[in-house]
Amino acid sequence: MEYISHPMIRPESVEKREYQLAIAMKALDANTMVILPTGLGKTAVALLVAASRLYNDGGKILVLAPTKPLVEQHLRSFERYLNLKAGKDPEESPFVMFTGDAPPAERTADWERATVILATPQVIKNDLIAGRYTLADVTLMVVDECHRAVGNYAYVFLAQRYLATADKPLLLAMTASPGGAQVKVQDVCANLGIAHVETRNENDPDVRPYVFEREVEYLSIDLPPDLKSAIAIINGLIGERLALLSSLRFEVPKREKLSMKALNAINAQIQQRIQARDPVAYQAASVYAECMKLRHAVTLAESQGSDVLKGYLAKLIAEGTGSGGSKASQRLAADQSFRELAARSTEWTRELHPKAEIVLDLVRAQLAEHKESRIIVFATYRDTVQRLADMLAAHGIACERFVGQATKDTEKGLSQKKQIAALTRFREGEFRVLIATSVGEEGLDVPSTDMVIFYEAVPSEIRSIQRKGRTGRHAAGRVVVLVTKGTSDEVFQHVSNAKERMMHKSMRSMATITAPAQRPIVAEQASIGEFTPQGPKILIDDRETSSKVVEALSNMGAAVRLERLPHGDYAIGDRILIERKTARDFADTLINRDLLGQ
């Protein structure tokens, strides 16, 4: 094997691949988006560009990734391959990972001493807004999973601030799946100031030698009779509510044509009539909420199984019969057909849907044939993740769940520290099966994962590509997608495949892009200091940092400080307090709550 030879890269550590070198050389000339299939070494490209910038221009490298586990993964890669010496204190590493857990003063000190900073974007954004440091001496900003750079996501603010204020700016954006719509990709390019796009796929001649086979198979599964019967009852309830909406003079589709797009169209009609102060619209809004709950029940029955559906029906009954339940839940709980279905579901003493048993069989067969295998099972809903983990554990298969941080209902999330610990145990082989929600889809590199199971198809081409990319990275891999016949699973399968084809076509055309229209650089705005040189500091509630108002104030040079305010969103001096509200929230506050108490 031939290795990269560079003074800033550890000897015999990074394999020499011509396509990575070619991409890195292009990326050194202009702000570049790199689109590479998962497992083909986007991180290696970032290392090559970082090494060159440090060698020729010095300064700092800032690496951004959307989640803490992914940041930690990049930290391990940069520490392992980049040849950097410690500063004045040999005990202090030139690498540092920023988290929101560290005190601001500690982050400021770390920023001053470190050469390579790795962080989630929100931490850096908050520090910049608070004026704790600047990006002036950052010679390379790496933006991983750059398809997120849309709307109010922190990547957009950071890219614009960086390009406007750095002495020698260069931005490297990376993704495996930029999305199928070329308009969205162009929007990402504009938000990040991208001037050049480098893309490769697995069929390119310079890439093909490094691609491992990834077998993708779709298992069609019949829906059992009891679940078919339950779905028929729920669809009947949906039909009744659509008829009611129609009687209230709303345009509604036939029940068989009820899609998420159609539901959104119904909601738009309702909101329009609420704004026109039509009292009937409020009743319609509650009926619409019933439709949404019932449609979700159908999705659970079709794609998740009887145990998850049973739990959901029980939850709706509890909400509808308890204090504080919504009107929609109360009406459902009072509906005779719904109550009978919920009662019947309590008689389901085992999982009716075949998917769970199929997962067990697939995992058993893989581990029997390859004892050192690592397997990832993806499921959309946490309830399913927990039930699969319990089932595999009951059959003696070592496994762990991998979910987000938020606690939902009685189920606790995993802190970022616990997420990182779980991935470390998985990599080291302490357990063989990781059961994950979408939080496990992006970027996580587990070298020996040779099987990925989709518990259900997903309609997003980005999520589908990210899931598939967890295997076949370092050896041949297998992807199995479970699809329930005649259900939303089949629809999502076809939608995802079509979007993937569109994305690959779009990527080929994007390779010819050299200079898309870029957003105006914000630094050319006049500083607020020119108008109010002695103005008071603005205190901003730290929960407001996603607001464009905060970004605008920071871009204008206002002196701001972030802290948790007991009242209001913005405080100017000791006499002015500003509470930001939408018109609807303001009206609701006047009627139902204490405005001044907020």
Same domain, 282 and 141: no
> The domain that contains 231 carries what CATH number?
1.20.1320.20
Query: Residues 431, 323: one domain?
Result: no
56: tokens are: 């020729």
- Do residues 462 and 147 lie in contact, with contact meaning Cβ atoms separated by under 8 Å? yes
Count of beta carbons in the 10 Å neighbourhood of residue 160: 21
Average pLDDT, integer, range 289-310: 94
Q: Which of 164, 186, 210 is the last residue of a domain?
A: 210
| Domain presence at residue 322 | yes
CATH of residue 92's domain is 3.40.50.300
- Do 358 and 336 reside in the same domain of the chain? no
In the chain, the number of structural domains is 4
Does 158 reside within a domain? yes
* Domain hosting residue 241, numbered range: 225-345
Shared domain for 556 and 474, answered yes or no, is no
Say whether both 174 and 240 belong to one domain. Answer: no
Tens digit of each residue's pLDDT (9 = 90 or more) over 538-578: 888 878 877 788 888 877 777 787 878 888 888 887 778 88
Q: Is residue 504 a part of any domain in this protein?
A: no
Counting other chains too, the contacts that 214-218 makes at CB distance below 8 Å and 24 or more residues apart are 214/468, 214/471, 214/472, 214/476, 214/477, 214/478, 214/479, 215/476, 215/477, 215/478, 215/479, 216/468, 216/479, 216/481, 217/478, 217/479, 217/480, 217/481, 218/481, 218/483, 218/493
Let me know: does 204 contact 19? Beta carbons within 8 Å.
yes
Same-domain pairing of 69 and 202: yes
428, 459, 485 - which closes a domain: 485
The per-residue pLDDT for 520 is: 43
404 and 359, same structural domain?
yes
| 508 belongs to a structural domain | no
Q: Is residue 517 part of a domain?
A: no
Predicted confidence band of residue 372 (pLDDT cuts 50, 70, 90): confident
Stretch 475-490: mean pLDDT: 84
Q: What is the pLDDT of residues 85-96, one digit of tens each?
A: 876 666 789 999
Q: How confident is the model at residue 444 (pLDDT cuts 50, 70, 90)?
A: low
Q: Are residues 369 and 397 in the same domain?
A: yes
523 pLDDT band, cuts 50/70/90, is: very low
**CATH, residue 535:** 3.40.50.10130
- Per-residue DSSP letters for 197-249? EEE--TTSTTTGGGPPPEEEEEEEEPPPHHHHHHHHHHHHHHHHHHHHHHHTT
Residue 519: per-residue pLDDT: 47
CA distance 468 to 463: 9
Are 163 and 202 members of one domain?
A: yes
pLDDT at 476 > cutoff 60: yes
Q: Check whether residue 432 and residue 336 sit in a common domain.
A: no
pTM over 0.85: no
**pLDDT classification of 532: cutoffs 50, 70, 90:** very low
Q: How deeply is 73 buried, as exposed, middle or buried, from its count of CB atoms within 10 A (0-12, 13-18, 19+)? A: buried
| Same-domain pairing of 439 and 380 | yes
CA-to-CA separations, 240 to 170, 227, 234, in angstroms, rounded: 58, 20, 10
Q: Residue 88 domain-assigned?
A: yes
Domain membership flag for residue 597: no
Instruction: Decide if 267 contacts 292 (C-beta within 8 A).
Output: no
Indicate whether 2 belongs to any domain: no
In which region does residue 381 sit, left (phi positive, over 0), alpha (psi from -120 to 50) or beta (all else)?
Answer: beta
Q: Which of 485, 513, 535 is a domain's end point? A: 485
138-193: per-residue pLDDT in tens? 999 999 999 999 988 999 999 999 999 999 999 999 998 776 566 778 889 999 99
| pLDDT for residue 204 is more than 90 | no
Q: 246-255, 258-267, 368-377, 504-513: which has the minimum mean pLDDT?
A: 504-513
Query: Do both 112 and 253 map to the same domain?
Result: no
Average pLDDT in the 222-231 region?
Answer: 94
Q: Which two three-digit tokens encode residue 446? A: 């587990």
DSSP secondary structure of 254-317:
-GGG--HHHHHHHHHHHHHHHHTT-THHHHHHHHHHHHHHHHHHHHIIIII-HHHHHHHHHHHH
Residues 110-140: pLDDT tens digits? 999 999 999 999 999 999 998 899 999 999 9
**Rounded Cα distance, 359 and 318, in Å:** 31
